[in-house]
């Protein structure tokens, strides 16, 4: 936090020096709220949720099959012939490993999809922010996640959302970055792993931080 404050002060000082006596106009955008409330973000979230539900149903079905084999081993295994028990143990082990792999692969698939869709929308929002900044003469537009405090009147998130929605474009088609090459959205709240509830504790989800996400 201390480093962020120091960097922020240096950046502001440079901006003020660079504009000499010209008026310094600052604003900020809540990138996570923009993602959640823009039309593209809402549509992406709905599609994402439907895909999660589909995967969840598939994993729960696999889990029931694994648990059924486990119960058979516990209840009847001692009464089986050795070869029968071995076959059942082999089948149980095979299905358990497949289930664990599917949980892991599903999480990775969702994380990749989340990153792709979120990245496309964030790039579009960066272009919209740049256009608004040039039109309205902002010296600098910062992201809410990097600020300690700012006057509510300097929040242009609603304007960014309205402008983006009015364009009615396919996510990622604007494909912009903020001036200077810094990626917009980098400092916003980080993405938890996608909201896929693991039916088993065999494969816990890993979390990641540092970026905005449609899975929030």
pLDDT band at 7 (very low <50, low <70, confident <90, very high): very low
Task: Please give the pLDDT value at position 105.
Answer: 96
Nearest to 103, CA basis, from 197, 191, 192, 208: 197
**Distance between CA atoms of residues 96 and 211, nearest Å:** 33
CB 56 within 8 A of CB 196: yes
Task: Please give the pLDDT value at position 21.
Answer: 52
Q: Tell me what the mean pLDDT of segment 112-132 comes to.
A: 95
pLDDT digits (tens, 9 = 90+) for 56-88: 999 999 999 999 999 999 999 888 999 999 999
Task: Please give the pLDDT value at position 212.
Answer: 81
Handedness of CA 71, 76, 77, 81 (dihedral sign): negative
Q: Tell me what the mean pLDDT of segment 118-135 comes to.
A: 96
Q: How many CB atoms lie within 10 A of CB 157?
A: 20
SS (H, E, C) the chain: CHHHHHHHHHHHHHHHHHCCCCCCCEEEECHHHHHHHCHHHHHHHHHHHHHHHHHHHHHHHHHHHHHHHHHHHHHHHHHCCHHHHHHHHHHHHHHHHHHHHHHHHHHHHHHHHHHHHHHHHHHHHHHHHHHHHHHHCCCEEEEHHHCCCCCHHHECHHHHHHHHHHHCCCCCCCCCCCCCCCCCCCCCCCCCCCCCCCCCCCCCCCCCCCCCCCCC
Task: Please give the pLDDT value at position 17.
Answer: 53
Is residue 50 predicted with pLDDT exceeding 60? Answer: yes
């Amino acid at each position: 936090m201390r480093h962020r404050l120091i960097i922020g002060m240096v950046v502001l000082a440079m901006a003020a020096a660079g504009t000499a006596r010209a008026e310094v106009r600052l604003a900020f955008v809540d990138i996570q709220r923009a993602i959640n409330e823009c039309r593209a973000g809402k549509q992406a979230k709905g599609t994402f949720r439907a895909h999660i539900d589909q995967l969840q149903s598939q994993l729960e079905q696999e889990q029931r099959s694994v648990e059924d084999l486990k119960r058979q081993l516990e209840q009847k295994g001692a009464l089986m012939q050795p070869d029968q028990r071995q076959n059942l143990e082999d089948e149980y082990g095979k299905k358990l490993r497949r289930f664990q792999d599917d949980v892991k692969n599903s999480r990775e698939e969702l994380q990749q999809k989340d990153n792709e869709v979120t990245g496309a929308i964030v790039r579009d929002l960066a272009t919209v922010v740049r256009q608004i900044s040039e039109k309205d003469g902002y010296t600098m537009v910062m992201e809410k996640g990097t600020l300690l405090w700012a006057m509510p009147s300097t929040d242009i998130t609603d304007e960014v959302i309205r402008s983006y929605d009015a364009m009615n474009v396919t996510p990622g088609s604007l494909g912009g970055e903020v001036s200077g090459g810094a990626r917009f959205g980098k400092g916003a709240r980080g993405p938890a792993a996608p909201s896929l509830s693991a039916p088993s504790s065999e494969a816990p989800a890993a979390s990641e931080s540092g970026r905005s996400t449609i899975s929030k």
